Amino acid sequence: MTISVGDRIPSVTLTKATADGPDQISSDDFFKGRKVALVAVPGAFTPTCSARHLPGFVDKAAELKAKGVDEIAFTSVNDAFVMGAWGKASDAGDIVMLADGNAEFAKAVGLSFDGSKFGMGERSQRYSMLVNDGVVEQLNVEAPGAFEVSSAEHLLSEI
């Protein structure tokens, strides 16, 4: 079942990419007591994700924070080393890179897909969500192959 506005984020373990290496964190702890713009992409370093999606949030980070967003995070079904390298290569600044290496988070929120025919295995759908103290306030899931409603500009327009 797909997560909906008003639902609580499921409790799973994610891995945060840090300068000191991977750091496991529970989703309960990560989302507790703050407003988080969470963006999920099918893969780090993939064309749309690297050329448009992440750069849009880097460019609009200050505007999102001015509207009350405490943290911006990207998640993908990649390991923490790949997520860390992607953040660094993209000059992602303060955006938190959350690895969902086994697609546990993507599956728990009901937003995974089978990318096997592209050689990618289980992946996350492309979406953005605004999470306030662990509860989904906004959810913008893209149609397959699209990049419209999960953009930084769209999320900003909803806050």
Is pLDDT of 47 > 90? no
Is the residue at 5 inside a domain? Answer: no
pLDDT in tens, 116-149: 777 676 788 999 999 999 999 999 999 988 888 9
Tell me, yes or no, whether 136 lies in a domain: yes
- Judge whether 102 lies within some domain: yes
Query: Who contacts 94 (Cβ-Cβ below 8 Å, separation ≥6)?
Result: 61, 72
Q: How confident is the model at residue 64 (pLDDT cuts 50, 70, 90)?
A: very high
Q: In sequence order, what E strands does 5-134 have?
A: 13-18, 21-26, 35-40, 71-76, 96-99, 112-114, 122-124, 127-132
Q: Total domain count for the chain?
A: 1
In a domain? residue 35? yes
User: Of 80, 124, 107, 140, whose CA–CA distance to 12 is shortest?
Assistant: 107
C-alpha–C-alpha distance, residues 75 and 15, integer Å: 9
The whole-angstrom separation of Cα 50 and Cα 55 is: 7
How far is the C-alpha of 18 from the C-alpha of 73, rounded, in Å? 13
Round to the nearest angstrom and report the end-to-end CA distance of the chain: 26
Task: Check whether 46 has a pLDDT greater than 80.
Answer: no
Q: What percent of the chain has pLDDT over 90?
A: 69
In a domain, 4, yes or no: no
Q: Is residue 143 a part of any domain in this protein?
A: yes
CATH of the domain at 25: 3.40.30.10
Structural domain contains residue 138: yes
Residues annotated as catalytic are 49
Query: What range defines the domain where residue 21 resides?
Result: 13-158
Nearest to 159 by CA among 26, 36, 12: 36
Q: Is residue 7 one of the residues assigned to a domain? A: no
